[in-house]
């Protein structure tokens, strides 16, 4: 970390209000406080540092443009900014024209890294967390699929490949898993 301390939910909500009011310093505070974590999230999904930086910059611009849409009643401010970031990462991953410029071995390295990052993330959940307990109660394949989507940005096709199951099976595993997870967490 370089100087940025994580901010509380209330501080981040305040900073988003500042952005909505046109205060660039508020956006800069968000980058300074949360940029390191955002780079980490992006790097897990995109593997390459240059792509991760691009995704974080894209996300910051989107946060600026959409800050007025953030409502404090709709979940946490952190959840909101990280969702914008993951969305930008997935856009980069889905940009086939762009990926076609990658060497085949780079693409393979990227896929391997994304798989590895998802495994790491699941293992990195603190044991005391409800999400940890509830994921471990799911069918392991369903839990793996959900984490691959969230952490690695994998889509249904990629997940069914990674788990070597038909697409339909993969989709119903995920749906059942999400239902069970939600009930467990509520």
Partner 1 sequence: MSETDLRAEEFVLGLLDPATEAELTDALEHDRVWAAAVGRARDRLRPLDDTAPDLPGAARLWDGVAARLGPAPARRRWLPLGAATAAGLAVGLFIGGTWFTPDPIVLAVLVDEAGTPTAVVEDFGHADARIRFVRDIQVPQGRQMQVWTLPSAETGPVSLGLLRGAAGTELDAPRLPDPGNGQLYEITLEPAGGSPTGRPTGAILAKGLAARQDGV
Residues in 123-162 at the binding interface with partner 1, rule: CB under 8 A: 124-126, 129, 131-132, 146-147, 149-151, 153, 155-156
Which CB, 105 or 126, lies closer to partner 1? 126
- Of 2, 97, 107, 99, nearest to 47 by C-alpha is 107
Please report whether residue 20 would count as binding partner 1 according to CB under 8 A. Answer: yes
Contact, 117 vs 153, CB < 8 A? no
User: Tokens 């100087």 label which residue?
Assistant: 3
Please report whether residue 11 would count as binding partner 1 according to CB under 8 A. Answer: no
Which CB, 41 or 110, lies closer to partner 1? 41
> Residue 112 contacts by C-beta under 8 Å, 6 or more apart in sequence?
none
Please report whether residue 163 would count as binding partner 1 according to CB under 8 A. Answer: no
The CB-of-146 to partner 1 minimum distance in angstroms stands at 7
Piece in contact with partner 1 (CB under 8 A), picked from 95-103, 106-114, 120-128, 160-168: 120-128
Please report whether residue 48 would count as binding partner 1 according to CB under 8 A. Answer: no
CB burial of residue 177 (10 Å; 0-12, 13-18, 19+): buried
Structure tokens at 113: 């890294």
């Amino acid at each position: 970390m370089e100087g940025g301390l994580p901010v509380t939910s209330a501080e981040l909500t305040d900073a988003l209000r500042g952005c909505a009011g046109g205060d660039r310093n508020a956006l800069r505070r968000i980058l300074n406080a949360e940029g390191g974590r955002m780079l980490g999230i992006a790097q897990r999904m995109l593997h390459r540092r240059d792509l991760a930086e691009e995704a974080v910059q894209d996300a910051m611009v989107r946060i600026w443009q959409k800050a007025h849409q953030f409502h404090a009643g709709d979940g946490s401010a952190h959840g909101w900014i990280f969702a914008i970031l993951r969305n930008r990462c997935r856009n980069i991953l889905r940009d086939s024209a762009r990926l076609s410029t990658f060497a085949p071995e780079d693409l393979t390295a990227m896929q391997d890294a994304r798989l590895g990052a998802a495994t790491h993330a699941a293992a990195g959940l603190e044991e005391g967390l409800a999400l940890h307990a509830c994921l471990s109660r799911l069918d392991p394949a369903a839990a793996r699929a959900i984490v691959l989507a969230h952490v690695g940005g994998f889509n249904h096709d990629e997940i069914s490949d990674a788990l070597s199951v038909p697409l339909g099976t993969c989709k119903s595993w995920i749906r059942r898993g999400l239902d069970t997870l939600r009930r467990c967490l509520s």
